[in-house]
């Protein structure tokens, strides 16, 4: 059974702190291995990629085969079930529609001093998208990363995906092609990150790398950061469900398990004000687990990291939500809007009794790449702005420089930066 916390208990604050401090990730120390791989790719380029791919993915090829060809892409599409392809395309359409609303406006103004100033948004030139191979190869994740980049106007989207033993996930390839990925390379691991960051003879370097990956990929992204931009390093999935006693316990139990099934480090938490309902949800979890194919993973996550918190009143829930700052927050209550208004920290919020979190993983439209491990206190889910950057601009003429220049020179004097002051005053003396 997962831990139970009682809002009325004297130990509640210390129990809650222990829940917040729950360590769910043991980062493997792969930094030295990764550093060597990156250095080797920088030195030997394509030859290093060939060697590592033979060793790790058991695939032998030449640089001309790094890139997945148009014929293979067509073959992959033909391999997909028509229903699944249609669902993928519906998802892509809805994700694009939501993200298009995020496109920022440029700004320009001439102020009272006569200074013209503003800000201009431009797309990042080239983005690398890492996609894991094997079990964690999620076509939905391809869409969630590639579609916002495309909407932002990124001209070049280079995807890498390992093909262990030569196996390609056809729906991943179909999703990439549909989302506008411009190049797909059958490469993975730290070597793929190094190739994207620094380039090789056949792969041009990108400006930013996004996408999930294992410990080697995460370490490689951290190490190349600076040479290129990176997205957040995602931790294990989380869901926090705030539910009153009027919900169907089987629905809420399914929602909790939809995150628990991701991996053993995932975390599912229920907050309710109804003790009997809490028991019913716990029982419903057991019933679902009896039939679910991924029950072993889900049970481990639920029993090790799950929690049920019973409060005297759900009025106390928003303050706890903000401290947990969950990746996913379901508000299965009568007035979810009112509760949302009282919450500050959450990656994505699912309102009402008919909005399971999984709808957001696939087709709702908002991004499913969201801040984990309490980072919703200070960061946002992936969005169009992550694929753009803002450049500010200023234009003075002789008159407006005379208006604001003296204050700039005074402050430069105060900071002991005489060339700064000189560059202003030299233009004001004529």
Check if 328 is active-site.
yes
Residue closer to its own copies by CB (options 50, 142) is: 142
The answer to whether the annotation marks 216 as part of a ligand binding site is no
Strands 267-272 and 238-243: parallel
- Are the C-beta atoms of residues 367 and 146 closer than 8 Å to each other? no
Q: Which one from 177, 238, 327, 330 is the annotated catalytic residue?
A: 327
Residue closer to its own copies by CB (options 59, 206) is: 206
CA nearest 212: which of 237, 247, 246, 183? Answer: 237
Residue closer to its own copies by CB (options 10, 426) is: 426
* Least Cβ distance, residue 61 to its own copies (angstroms): 27
The answer to whether the annotation marks 198 as part of a ligand binding site is no
- Both tokens of 400, joined, read 């407006």
**Residue 141 and residue 211: Cα distance in Å, rounded?**
8
CA distances from 34 to 137, 207, 224, 389 (A): 22, 20, 10, 29
Distance separating the N- and C-terminal Cα atoms of the chain: 80
Residue closer to its own copies by CB (options 41, 92) is: 92
Residue closer to its own copies by CB (options 200, 367) is: 367
The answer to whether the annotation marks 354 as part of a ligand binding site is no
* Least Cβ distance, residue 287 to its own copies (angstroms): 11
* Least Cβ distance, residue 410 to its own copies (angstroms): 4
- Both tokens of 196, joined, read 């994207």
Check if 327 is active-site.
yes
* Least Cβ distance, residue 160 to its own copies (angstroms): 18
Strands 208-210 and 116-123: unpaired
Residue closer to its own copies by CB (options 88, 219) is: 88
Q: Which one from 99, 178, 305, 328 is the annotated catalytic residue?
A: 328
- Both tokens of 421, joined, read 């002051």
The answer to whether the annotation marks 259 as part of a ligand binding site is yes
The answer to whether the annotation marks 178 as part of a ligand binding site is no
The answer to whether the annotation marks 130 as part of a ligand binding site is yes
- Are the C-beta atoms of residues 244 and 332 closer than 8 Å to each other? yes
Q: How many CA atoms lie within 13 A of 72 on its CB side?
A: 18
* Least Cβ distance, residue 60 to its own copies (angstroms): 29
* Least Cβ distance, residue 71 to its own copies (angstroms): 23
The answer to whether the annotation marks 415 as part of a ligand binding site is yes
**Residue 104 and residue 386: Cα distance in Å, rounded?**
11
Which residues participate in the annotated binding site for NAD(+)?
A: 130, 191, 214
Q: Give catalytic residue positions.
A: 327-328
Annotated binding site for Zn(2+): 259, 262, 361, 420
Which residues line the annotated binding site for substrate? 237, 259, 262, 328, 361, 415, 420
């Amino acid at each position: 059974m997962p831990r139970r916390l009682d809002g009325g208990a004297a130990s509640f604050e210390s129990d809650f702190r222990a829940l917040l401090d729950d360590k769910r990730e043991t980062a493997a120390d792969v930094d030295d291995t990764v550093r060597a791989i990156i250095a080797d790719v920088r030195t030997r380029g394509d030859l290093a990629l060939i060697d590592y791919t033979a060793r790790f993915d058991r695939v032998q090829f030449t640089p001309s085969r790094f890139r997945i060809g148009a014929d293979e892409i067509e073959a992959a599409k033909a391999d997909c079930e028509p229903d699944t392809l249609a669902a993928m395309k519906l998802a892509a359409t809805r994700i694009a529609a939501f993200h298009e609303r995020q496109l920022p406006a440029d700004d320009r103004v001439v102020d009272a001093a006569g200074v013209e100033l503003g800000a201009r948004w431009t797309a990042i030139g080239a983005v690398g998208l890492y996609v894991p191979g094997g079990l964690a190869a999620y076509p939905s994740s391809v869409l969630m990363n590639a579609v916002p980049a495309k909407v932002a106007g990124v001209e070049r989207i280079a995807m890498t995906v390992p093909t262990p033993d030569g196996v390609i996930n056809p729906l991943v390839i179909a999703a990439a092609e549909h989302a506008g990925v411009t190049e797909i390379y059958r490469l993975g691991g730290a070597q793929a990150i190094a190739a994207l960051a620094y380039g090789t003879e056949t792969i041009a370097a990108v400006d930013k790398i996004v996408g999930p990956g294992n410990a080697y990929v995460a370490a490689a992204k951290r190490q190349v950061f600076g040479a290129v931009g990176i997205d957040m390093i995602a931790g294990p999935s989380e869901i926090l469900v705030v539910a009153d006693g009027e919900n169907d316990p089987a629905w809420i139990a399914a929602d909790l398990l939809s995150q628990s099934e991701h991996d053993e480090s995932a975390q599912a938490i229920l907050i309710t004000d109804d003790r009997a309902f809490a028991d019913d949800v716990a029982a419903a979890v057991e019933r679902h687990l009896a039939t679910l194919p991924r029950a072993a993973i889900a049970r481990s996550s639920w029993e090790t990291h799950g929690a049920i918190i019973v409060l005297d009143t759900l009025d106390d829930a928003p303050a706890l939500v903000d401290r947990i700052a969950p990746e996913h927050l379901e508000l299965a209550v009568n007035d979810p809007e009112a509760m949302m208004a009282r919450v500050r920290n959450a990656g994505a919020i699912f309102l009402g009794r008919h909005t399971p979190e999984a709808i957001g993983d696939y087709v709702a439209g908002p991004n499913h790449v969201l801040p984990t491990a309490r980072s919703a206190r200070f960061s946002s889910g992936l969005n169009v702005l992550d694929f753009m950057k803002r450049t500010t601009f200023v234009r003075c003429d002789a008159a407006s420089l005379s208006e604001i220049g003296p204050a700039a020179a005074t402050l430069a004097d105060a900071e002991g930066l005489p060339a700064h002051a000189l560059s202003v005053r030299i233009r004001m003396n004529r």
